[in-house]
Amino acid sequence: MKIAIASAKGGTGKTTIATNLFEALRLEGNFTVDFFDTNVGEPDAHLFLDNIYTEQTNKEVVNIKIPLFDKEKCTYCGKCLHYCEYDAIVMNKEDRNIYLIDNKCTSCGACIYVCNDNAITEIDKEIGIINIRENKSSDNQGSRFIDGYLNIGHPFVSPIVQSMKTKLITGQISIIDTAPGTSRAVVEALYDVDYIVLVAESSAFGLHDLQLMVKMLNELRKGFGVVINRYHGEHNIVQEYLEKAQIPLLMEIPFKMEYARIYSESELLVNNNDDMRKKFLELFEKIKSEYMLKAMYR
């Protein structure tokens, strides 16, 4: 079962929910659980889970293919220029010069497809890395921690998320932490998961962004439920909305200075609070039953 944790707004507690749910399940010991941190721009989950995993990492470089122009073979016909939808190719016919603006190239392959003169070859450009780490202790063997890092300065994150997702093992529980927003990189992380846990903050900004996400998931036809984080116990606009829209509320976490402190030290709630551990296991049960329900009606 692939469970993704998402939200349009940043800082609602995606990583908190993801890492704690993961650890609660892992400590139960009945399952092999994998963790994926697909927020490759700013990956944080490792700060919370570092001590569980070996320092030794299996590094994989993520490359995209970018065109290399052979200035001798090129006839400067301009077809590639015409095919490139991103204006990434600059050509000057008189000077017989053609080059690529690296950061605009999305590696779609249109230029090499159209070139009749064999003047374009493709070379690898490194855009980031994926780290794969194994579980340290002997119990819960096979549990892996996988995160990706975008090279600073490179604009496109989707290819890294894509190649991280090839590491998913079917039939195993995987927790997938995502980047904030509703961009294509987030869709890439979400489109083939089984269930999505949205994390919302009970504030006006939180509600607005939750609605954005709900709209997107409805279009993607995904099953999802909501965790309200930092709930203050007063008039709760997010809860009201969920009732009206008939979206399952999976869990509520009250705002507590204690929790904020535990988080700020990059520690896990489930390791500091037995009650929380129970709550996160309940969350998993809820996710499971919601997912089954959805599957029954499909």
Chain residues in the site for other proteins (CB under 8 A): 8-12, 15, 39, 41-42, 44, 47-48, 83, 85-86, 103, 106-110, 113-114, 150, 152-153, 155-158, 162, 179-185, 187-188, 191, 201, 203-205, 208-209, 212-213, 215-216, 219-220, 232, 237, 257, 260-261, 263-266
Q: Which is nearer to other proteins, 133 or 154 (CB)?
A: 154
Q: Which is nearer to other proteins, 245 or 260 (CB)?
A: 260
Nearest alpha-carbon partner for 157 in 110, 189, 131: 189
Residue 209 CB, nearest distance to other proteins (Å)? 5
Residue 10 CB, nearest distance to other proteins (Å)? 1
Residue 168 CB, nearest distance to other proteins (Å)? 14
Q: Which is nearer to other proteins, 57 or 266 (CB)?
A: 266
Residue 141 CB, nearest distance to other proteins (Å)? 28
d(CA 128, CA 124): 12
Q: Which is nearer to other proteins, 169 or 204 (CB)?
A: 204
Place of tokens 């890492």: 19
